[in-house]
Amino acid sequence: MNSQQTLLILGSNSFAGGCLVEQSLLAGYKVIGINRSPEQSISMVPYQLAGFSKSAQYQFYPLDLNLHFEEICQVILKHQPEYIVDLAGQGMVAESWQQPEQWYQTNVVAKAKLISFLNKQKFLKRYLRVSTPEVYGSTDSLIKESQNYSPSTPYAVSHAAIDMHINAFVQQHNFPAIITRFSNFYGPTQQLYRIIPRAIIYAKLGKKLPLHGGGLATRAFIYGNDAANGILAALEHGVIGESYHFSTQNFVTIRQLVEVVYQELSLDFDDMVDMADDRPGKDLKYLMDDNKAQKELGWQPQVNLQQGISHTISWVNKHWTDIKQQPFNYIHKA
């Protein structure tokens, strides 16, 4: 694609957003970032994104989709991006039970307003939404993109609702949307409350890691830059109206994942964990089939799980003085 084309990223300061900003700049895009928090993800202490602000090809706006909708519209009209990637929204599954209306307001109502606005803009060539496999609920077999939705938490319901809303706009108005769903992201600079950095940090602190539900839930994990390159592959080569899964076929239980972390740290798993009750509504398995993305988009993950965990351990060790000053638990922002 033309190196002068503009890509606007909603949720640019998230972990996945930071990886995407970096990969998009390397790919030659002019990048506009929008995020409700002016700071990067809490673990993104200055190292990863410090250089972005110095790039003439990157501009950032600290705006909230709920509080600054008109300002966001003005930014979009000012820059007229050909491409928009939407990573914004209320995250966290367990917390969505506490005040589900916040998840519906941000992930459904505010997004529906945005889609209506974007649908009128002739300069927009593609809008790519990063959704979640949680819309499918727990499944025992590989999930294809045609799988029916069966969400089991307010978080998942909010994502399923906006996905269906977008698909309706594609069908009725030819809205240029593509929907992507990814296995769990991980890697250096990920939020410290996520399972891989948390396991590393607890080990360095000599604390036992609480393993919810005994770690029986099964997931696949994608390294941050592999996920970002998957987003760009779908944006540049995907078909409007289609959805694409990005995963690996290396499915592991959370227990097995933590075992890999502690093997890399030369620690004994049984000495490092405590069993804890599982979170409400947590799905047992997400097993996405990524053949479509591999065949149609030519995407494949480049970093395997052991390599990625090793890179993440190195990042924590390198920046331990700063990281240990940060809060390790999720802090909810309405």
Domain spanning 6-185+222-246: CATH 3.40.50.720: yes
Pairwise CA distance, residues 299 & 295, whole Å: 8
Give pLDDT, residue 284: 80
Q: Which of 4, 5, 73, 68 is nearest to 235 (CA)?
A: 5
Give pLDDT, residue 43: 43
Asked which of 166-175, 177-186, 219-228, 318-327 is least confident by mean pLDDT, the reply is: 318-327
Pairwise CA distance, residues 83 & 6, whole Å: 6
Give pLDDT, residue 296: 97
Contact 58, 26 (CB under 8 A): no
How does pLDDT run across 164-214, given as a tens digit for each residue?
Answer: 999 999 999 999 999 999 999 999 989 898 999 999 999 999 999 998 888
> In Å, how far are 8, 57, 220, 234, 255 from 26, measured between CA atoms?
15, 10, 27, 17, 36
Q: Please check the confidence at residue 262 and state whether its pLDDT lies above 50.
A: yes
The model's confidence at residue 53, banded by pLDDT at 50, 70 and 90, is low
- All structural domains of the chain with their residue ranges: 6-185+222-246
Query: Whole-prediction pTM value?
Result: 0.92
Handedness of CA 36, 37, 38, 41 (dihedral sign): negative
Place of tokens 């390599």: 307
Give pLDDT, residue 325: 84
How does pLDDT run across 116-172, given as a tens digit for each residue?
Answer: 999 999 999 999 999 999 999 988 889 999 999 999 999 999 999 999 999 999 999
Q: Please check the confidence at residue 282 and state whether its pLDDT lies above 80.
A: no
Give pLDDT, residue 3: 52
